[in-house]
Amino acid sequence: MSYLEESRGALVALQSKDHIRILAIESSCDETAAAVIEDGRRILSNAVFTQIDLHALYGGVVPEIASRAHVEKVDLMVDQALRDAGLALADVDAVAVTCGPGLVGALLIGVSCAKALAFAARKPLVAVNHIEGHICANFLTHPDLTPPFACLVVSGGHSHLFSVEDYGAFRILGQTQDDAAGEAFDKAARVLNIPYPGGPLLDRLAEEGDPNALKLPRPKTEGRYDYSFSGLKTAFINAVHNARQKGEPLRDADLAASFRKAVVSFLVDRAMLAAEDMGLKKMALAGGVSANKLLRREMEKACKARGIELFMPRLDLCGDNAAMIGSAAYYRLMRGEIAGLDLNAQPALRLTE
């Protein structure tokens, strides 16, 4: 019997089990992570090795260094995730992995590792979209959250407003026309000499600044719910340089606070516009930038004022991790979506057609 036929047989057997446990692996960018998730909602373990220190020296993620670090750490993270969950590989019901989007060399490490484990242990293999994983971080934080809901996904590579119509069924309401929100935060941080990754540090610095110190333009977009951050970023960089040249530099904390306010109010306003137009009742946040303190506060305020129920991932589940991949994998597995051993990394994978 071929591996895939065996996996299909295993799928049928899973239907009579009380609990489904999935070993998940994530290696799409600069975090090497493995986790064990039960029934898509319960974290049994969540091991993450962050490569930030390795890339900080270069001011950004160096793909070759990321791949090499994934190779060194991936089996250690898998061992740790199984150990922390108190399980052996034979005890899990499936092996899941992020297959895209992300850096091709980085993705390939996780995909190869997951394929080898699934084949050796004769377990079904589940391929997960990284963005879907970010959205599912909310299922791990909020046991009561069920589709339909809208989700603002803001990370280093993506800024999308999705309608989550069902498990695994997504529709794009709006998206960035250029930079992602996280990318804009990182670039603005660089001008302020904040080390990589700038987003979280800029956020912390902004807490002490005056958000009205620097006026920034409101970006224009084609679509009503679209985003655009590159003009904002350029305006910010020019304003900082001009002020420095004139010998009247503004305080870094004030600059950080002004930039953060411009990005956050744009993110929140567009999401609320969509919510009002469409009468949305539930809104979620996802992705690295959903850890942003101001974004969380402003979203809470805006949703409360409109009677919208807001869901945000636990802070440690906002950035890249494998727990969210295990949650997304559970719903894929339940729909019978399993992968073969020909699974490949898909660096430009999309969540919708």
Q: Interface with Zn ion by CB under 5 A: which residues?
A: 155, 320
User: HEC states along 230-276?
Assistant: HHHHHHHHHHHHHHHHCCCCCCHHHHHHHHHHHHHHHHHHHHHHHHH
- Residue 29 contacts ligand KG4 per CB under 6 A: yes
- Using DSSP, state whether 94 is helix, strand or coil: strand
CB count in 10 Å sphere of residue 296:
17
- Interface positions, 223-262, toward ligand KG4 (CB under 6 A): none
- Residue 320 contacts ligand KG4 per CB under 6 A: yes
Torsion angle of C-alpha atoms 254, 176, 146, 328, degrees rounded to 10:
-100
Give me the least distance between CB of 290 and ligand KG4, in Å please: 8
Question: Do 321 and 137 touch, CB atoms closer than 8 A?
Answer: yes
Select 49 or 185, whichever has its Cβ closest to ligand KG4: 185
- Residue 205 contacts ligand KG4 per CB under 6 A: no
- Residue 162 contacts ligand KG4 per CB under 6 A: no
- Residue 157 contacts ligand KG4 per CB under 6 A: yes
Which tokens is 11 given? 């799928």
Integer Cα distance of 99 and 332 in angstroms: 13
Select 209 or 313, whichever has its Cβ closest to Zn ion: 313
In order of 43, 158, 217, 228, 267, the CA distances from 174 in angstroms are: 31, 11, 20, 11, 11
Select 269 or 277, whichever has its Cβ closest to ligand KG4: 269
Binding mask 165-204 for ligand KG4 (x = CB under 6 A): -----------------xx-xx----------xxxx--x-
Residue 110 binding result from ligand KG4, Zn ion, none, given CB thresholds of 5 to 8 Å by partner type: none
Select 112 or 292, whichever has its Cβ closest to ligand KG4: 292
Of residues 24, 28, 183, 180, the one with CA closest to residue 104: 28
- Residue 288 contacts ligand KG4 per CB under 6 A: yes
Give me the least distance between CB of 119 and ligand KG4, in Å please: 28
